[in-house]
Homo-oligomer: A and B are copies of this chain.
Amino acid sequence: MVNLADVAHQAHVSKMTVSRVINHPEKVSTEVRTAVMAAIELIGYQPNRIAKALVNHQNYVIQFLVLEDVVTVEPNYAILLLHLADVLNQKGYTLEISTTITDNDHIDGIIVSGWRQSDLLALEALRVPVVLYGESPTDHDMAYVDVDNRIGTMLATRHMINAGYQKIIYVGMDVDLPFSNERELGYLDTMVAKKRVSRVYTVANHSHIAEQLIHNIMAQLPKNTGIVCATDRIALGVVRALNKKNGVPEQYGVIGFDGVFIDQISSPQLTTVHQPFAKIAQSLVDNLFLQLQNSELVMQRIAPELIRRDTTRA
């Protein structure tokens, strides 16, 4: 293991100077700096995260808290997780995944997904910075990052209108959380703006239940109907129900939301509102580090993108 002392020896300076070149390069003269950097390069020095952590009273560990049941784990979390790990690794941080809220002092910050209203109090009480994935209710002043849900369903609804579907309905999910309400509002606002008559159904977020719903209300679904769905899971069930009548996308349009995995194993493949998880991960981490520095709270919504596939007309 190459350490500071080795570099110092190689560059004929003190350990302190090497440390400064790494952490406060502006406090070192140009010649010395270049010499030290050459030495670092030459002997392939890499700072020891552990020693750094000890002296700085930091851990270089961020916790990813998944409060949703592991069994029902969404591919969404998986993809977010992978991006998160990537971003953190680049900053020399490591990830700890947890499924329960505990007040550890071996972590520097927490990123939370799959939380419910009832978790927020416990999360606010934590001593370390917390960032939520998903918009928080207005009565809680917590930092969050989310896709702009309202814009997402707005894009979807507009696309339905432009594609010429006559009747356009919304199948939402039975969860009273901001992200869910926002998605519904994106649909409703757009319908009002375009002077259309809106119709909202609500189901649990399972493909089979959505499938059942469509079977039940088939009589109220004339041909040329567009169905905007709150999630890809719901959309998957809707497509399955309709597909048997061979109406997608000619007679029935379907648009999902999330754009991870499920959209692709659907047949036909889903048109969907895609959450840009790489950006979301980056933003979550940036947000957390901002708090680490200034204890500023930031709420951030990231624009989604409509991906056109095979469940809507061109």
Contacts and interface: CB of A to CB of B under 8 A. Distances in A.
Interface of A: 1, 46, 48-51, 53-54, 57, 59, 61, 66, 70, 73, 75, 77-79, 81-83, 85-86, 89, 94-99, 105-106, 207-208, 211, 233, 236-237, 240, 244, 261-262, 265, 267, 269
Contacts of A49: 59, 106
Oligomeric state, in copies:
2
A96 B51 CA distance: 18
Nearest to A95: B95
A261 B265 CA distance: 12
Contact of A94 (B75, B95, B236): B95
A2 to B, nearest CB: 9
Given A50-B54, A73-B79, A82-B73, A89 B97 contact: yes
B95 A70 contact: no
A230 to B, nearest CB: 16
B75 A261 contact: yes
Contact of A85 (B54, B78, B97, B240): B97
A234 to B, nearest CB: 11
A279 to B, nearest CB: 15
A305 to B, nearest CB: 15
5 contacts: A1-B57, A1-B105, A49-B106, A51-B54, A73-B82
Nearest to A85: B97
Contacts of A106: 46, 48-50
Contact of A98 (B50, B75, B89): B89
A-B residue pairs, 9 tightest by C-beta: A78-B78, A85-B97, A94-B94, A50-B53, A207-B265, A50-B54, A94-B96, A75-B75, A54-B54
Nearest to A207: B265
A54 B79 CA distance: 33
Looking at chain A's contact residues, the main secondary structure is helix
Nearest to A66: B82
Given A262-B265, A265-B262, A89 B81 contact: no
A235 to B, nearest CB: 11
A208 B267 CA distance: 7
Contacts of A89: 96-98
A50 B46 contact: no
A86 to B, nearest CB: 7
A54 B66 CA distance: 30
Given A77-B78, A240-B267, A61 B98 contact: no
A171 to B, nearest CB: 16
Contact of A267 (B82, B86, B211): B211
Contacts of A53: 50
Contact of A61 (B51, B82, B94): B94
